[in-house]
Amino acid sequence: MMKKQLRVLVFGAHPDDCDIKAGGIAALYTQLGHSVKFVSVTNGDAGHHEMGGGPLAQRRHAEAQAAADIIGIDYELLDNHDGELMPSLENRYQIIRTIREFQPDLIMTHRPNDYHPDHRYTSMLVQDAAYMVTVPNICALTPHLERNPVIVYLSDNFKKPNPFSPDVVVGIDAVVEQKMSMLHCHVSQFYEWLPYNSGTLNTVPNSDDERRKWLAERLHTRFSSIANKYRKKLVELYGEQNGNSIKYAEAFESCEYGSSLTPENLPILFPFFIDMQIDLQNR
């Protein structure tokens, strides 16, 4: 029986990964009174061109907490080095314990095919933990789960070996500015490291307000491209009128390693589609 309050756990490889892929849906969950936790599987200590190590990890931790405060969620950074994550047994146990302690109904994470090894291995660690969270003799001092949570993948644009194919697309128009505020907190990334890495650092404004506008111009296009790309799925879930009116969206694909995402539990785990909820209640 699903809990009345949903518990949603999002694993990203780095501080800001959860925000960029699921910050909108996290805001929607919290508005409905559900519990959300973001986990960065590394501490982000390599993600910069001028600083690194402990000082950068501490800076990124502070940025993550500021982002979490925007929508009222928990944000944990696991103390693994950025760029060095491996799908080891030790790290698998770390993920198993994290899942068991939070007791999620739904888990979100990267897909296993991705440009960044930390993203790939975060996905692999969550997949490897999926069944094991129900096995009492694994990490025996952390009580096991009686039921495997549903797991979904965060969106990406990678085509090989398999392109992303969403089972759920959620409109985030009502919370897109909150999501932007979260991303704005990750100063070291969106205004320093990522522009440096892409050769656009000279285009970043100096003032806080101008930076926010600069970032919005770039990211609103990304969020709208998801809505446009998966418009058919939005119409299927929201109905023709509402589905066609959505500007910004986030998308998620079912993972085979957790409990199944079904027509029955989809509107429970993603309580944003009124028509689907009414249909389920009338069955």
pLDDT, tens only, 210-244: 999 999 999 999 999 999 999 999 999 999 999 99
Strands 150-154 and 106-109: parallel
Rounded CA gap, 22 and 263, in Å? 22
Per-residue pLDDT tens over the stretch 169-194? 999 999 999 999 999 999 999 999 99
The pLDDT score that the predictor gives to residue 275 is 56
Contact 139, 129 (CB under 8 A): no
Contact 104, 36 (CB under 8 A): no
The pLDDT score that the predictor gives to residue 4 is 78
Q: Is 23 exposed, middle or buried (0-12, 13-18, 19+ CB in 10 A)?
A: buried
Task: State the amino acid at position 192 in one-letter form.
Answer: E
Contact 274, 11 (CB under 8 A): no
Task: State the amino acid at position 182 in one-letter form.
Answer: M
Contact 96, 62 (CB under 8 A): no
The pLDDT score that the predictor gives to residue 283 is 43
Q: What is the pLDDT along the chain (283 residues), one digit of tens a residue?
A: 445 799 999 999 999 999 999 999 999 999 999 999 999 999 999 999 999 999 999 999 999 999 999 999 999 999 999 999 999 999 999 999 999 999 999 999 999 999 999 999 999 999 999 999 999 999 999 999 999 999 999 999 999 999 999 999 999 999 999 999 999 999 999 999 999 999 999 999 999 999 999 999 999 999 999 999 999 999 999 999 999 999 999 999 999 999 999 999 999 999 999 655 444 444 4
Rounded CA gap, 154 and 29, in Å? 16
What are the strands of the beta sheet with 150-154, ordered from one edge?
A: 74-77, 35-40, 7-12, 106-109, 150-154, 249-254, 168-171
Q: Which of 92, 167, 97, 164 has the alpha carbon at shortest distance from 127?
A: 92
The pLDDT score that the predictor gives to residue 282 is 45
Contact 10, 95 (CB under 8 A): no
- The domains located in the chain, with CATH, are 7-281 (3.40.50.10320)
φ, ψ (nearest 5 deg) of residue 111: -80, 160
- Which structure tokens are listed for 260? 């199944």
Contact 10, 22 (CB under 8 A): yes
What is the pTM for the complete model shown? Answer: 0.95
To which H or E segment does residue 134 belong? none
